[in-house]
Amino acid sequence: CSGFGSLEILEYCFENNIILCRLPSHISHKLQPCDIGVFGPLKTAYREQVERLYRGGANTVGKEHFTSLYSPARAKALTPKNIKSGWIKAGLYPFNPDRVPRDMPKPHAELTVPKANEVNAVPCSQEEPLQTPVTAEALMSLRSLV
């Protein structure tokens, strides 16, 4: 089963009051501090190093050049200021939900997620093929099989 261990993780989270968050597809790059604050400056700094090498007379940039180009780019981009900036811009630290990018899909207003102890688990037949649960009720029902 490709999802082996997933139920154990969910049980651990329930037992330890850990709230799981499902991110919408194709947006994690807008929520990751390194994507927001570090990788852009790193890409720019690396490009500057490559251009410097070309201006110095190199015709090609190969694997043998990577570390000599990456090291100064890394030193320039991976600064405490850029790293902290990524966390701030993502709204993760300090926590600020108003910092979430404006083009993020909004959750449905009627969407509510019940707490684990509020869900009425209905036992499912073991003859039914197991499927990935998509609701809290389905998760609790699957959990009762284990």
CB 50 within 8 A of CB 11: no
Q: Is there a single domain that holds both residue 61 and residue 78?
A: yes
Q: Is there a single domain that holds both residue 142 and residue 111?
A: yes
Virtual CA dihedral for 121, 124, 130, 133, nearest 10 degrees?
-20
Q: Is there a single domain that holds both residue 41 and residue 83?
A: yes
List, for the chain, all residue ranges whose pLDDT scores fall below the cut of 50: 1-4
Q: Is there a single domain that holds both residue 95 and residue 139?
A: no
Q: Is there a single domain that holds both residue 42 and residue 84?
A: yes
Residues 75-114 as b or e (16 or more Cβ within 10 Å = b): ebbeeeebeebbbbbbbbeeeeeeeeeeeeeeeeeeeeee
* pLDDT of 4: 44
Q: Is there a single domain that holds both residue 75 and residue 127?
A: no
Number of domains in the chain: 2
Q: Is there a single domain that holds both residue 40 and residue 85?
A: yes
* pLDDT of 1: 33
Q: Is there a single domain that holds both residue 44 and residue 94?
A: yes
Burial class of residue 32 in the structure, from the number of CB atoms within 10 Å of its CB (0-12 exposed, 13-18 middle, 19+ buried): middle
Q: Is there a single domain that holds both residue 65 and residue 80?
A: yes
Q: Is there a single domain that holds both residue 114 and residue 73?
A: no
* pLDDT of 144: 73
* pLDDT of 80: 96
Q: Is there a single domain that holds both residue 87 and residue 50?
A: yes
Expressed as residue numbers, the domain containing 50 is 29-100
Q: Is there a single domain that holds both residue 132 and residue 118?
A: yes
CB 13 within 8 A of CB 142: no
